[in-house]
Amino acid sequence: MSDELKIVMECVKRLEPEMVELQKELVRRPSVGPESGGEGEKARVDYLVPLLRGWGLEVTEYRAPDPRVPCGYRPSIVARLKGRSGPCLWLMTHLDIVPAGARELWNTDPFEAVVKDGRIYGRGTEDNQQEMVASCFAVKAFLDSGVVPARDVALMLVADEETGSGHGAGWLLDNHDLCRSDDLVVVPDAGNGEGTFIEVAEKSIAWVRFAVQGRQGHASVPSGNAHRVGANLLVKLDRVLHEKYDAKDELFRPEVSTFEPTKKEANVPNINTIPGEDVFYFDCRVLPQYRLEDLLADMKAVAKETGKQFGMEVEVGTEQFAQAAPATDPDAPVVKLLTRAIKDVYGKDPTAGGIGGGTVAAFFRRRGIPAAVWGKYVGTAHNPNEYCLIENMAGDAQVYARMLMPESRKPD
């Protein structure tokens, strides 16, 4: 280990108490989107911008118009530190969080951080504040130590990740020329408990709505029961989709396409009324080799056939419909650089693979910029009593700092 690397790593370790304090400040500034009744990310950004500038970073705030929030915009931040040479390493995390949910399920106030037994409890502490704080303090270690990073680094803190990124990463990349094709992009927003999984590919996503139109009436004289038709349709869809789209790809976890019936809307409030409408949804995570247009056509065909069988109309629509972005090559420079850093810090060899969930890495990949998704996570995101492990936050900060040091050897 070089003298400079030792200095930076020791500095990261000394900064751990400050990491905990920043988590506390973020927790008490909720950044829930307007879709869930929140006011967005402004309070959080108003705190972070002067903080990061005070550290010595070059900070730019970008504002995506959004009339649904009081200030009229959704802010994102890019904070830069000049290194010795390019390409730039981008560390992209998100500012927004999901709502706390039922308060009775929390043992503590979700918006007042509690530190206990090596954990920080509070909404957003793991998703995505753990990695936001880790990446910020990885950069601060260079500022505090006076060591110049081997490459330029830019922290991208974006709005609106939890609800589609239309006012966050998507808007930012569409409206501002920020990243070059040879830049290195890490999205610290998914991983496993050992820190040994690097996400390089994602499945296509289709959220599909089915609405059966029947005839409401008294249950003693049954006719036009939309609920029965919906139940038949659900079972047929489940069978047809799993039979036709049955390929396996060992790159992904799970290795197959998934088709899950999820949300179901309320129909009638009482037992003795036949529902005149039945509405339900499928969440489909499809291997990239399949075209979502073909999937939707098959779903519509099954819906039409089932509706005809019972003499009813079935409407089919999409809530989300995104063909998978091109995968990042497991041998891409960003993956090799991240792999080496993880091995140096945690002493483990990570593997690259694909997931069914969607991340903002897709926005970069569609622009021809390879992106790697990573983090060391317990898996409490969106849960009541969400927490992050302080050791994960501090350890991941070391990983990002290691990525900014000169190559001591060629990546394997």
Active centre residues (catalytic): 96, 161
| Those residues with Cβ within 8 angstroms of residue 96's Cβ, 6 or more apart along the chain or in another chain | 31, 32, 33, 40, 41, 159, 160, 161, 162, 163, 168
| Those residues with Cβ within 8 angstroms of residue 392's Cβ, 6 or more apart along the chain or in another chain | 130, 195, 376, 377, 378
Buried b (16+ CB within 10 A) or exposed e, 137-165: bbbbbbebbebebbbbbbbbbbbbbbbbb
| Those residues with Cβ within 8 angstroms of residue 287's Cβ, 6 or more apart along the chain or in another chain | 203, 204, 245, 247, 249, 252, 256, 257
Pairing of strands 58-65, 252-253: unpaired
Question: Please, are residues 148 and 142 in contact by the beta-carbon 8 Å criterion?
Answer: yes
Question: Please, are residues 198 and 349 in contact by the beta-carbon 8 Å criterion?
Answer: no
Going 328 to 330 to 336 to 342, the CA torsion angle's sign is: positive
d(CA 330, CA 135) in angstroms, rounded, equals: 22
Question: Please, are residues 123 and 100 in contact by the beta-carbon 8 Å criterion?
Answer: yes
Pairing of strands 58-65, 277-286: unpaired
Question: Please, are residues 388 and 129 in contact by the beta-carbon 8 Å criterion?
Answer: yes
Calculate the CA 103 to chain-centre distance: 24
Among candidates 64, 41, 59, 40, which has minimal Cα distance to 49? 59
| Those residues with Cβ within 8 angstroms of residue 79's Cβ, 6 or more apart along the chain or in another chain | 52, 57, 58, 59, 60, 136, 139, 154, 155, 157
d(CA 308, CA 304) in angstroms, rounded, equals: 6
Return phi, psi of residue 40, to 5°.
85, -160
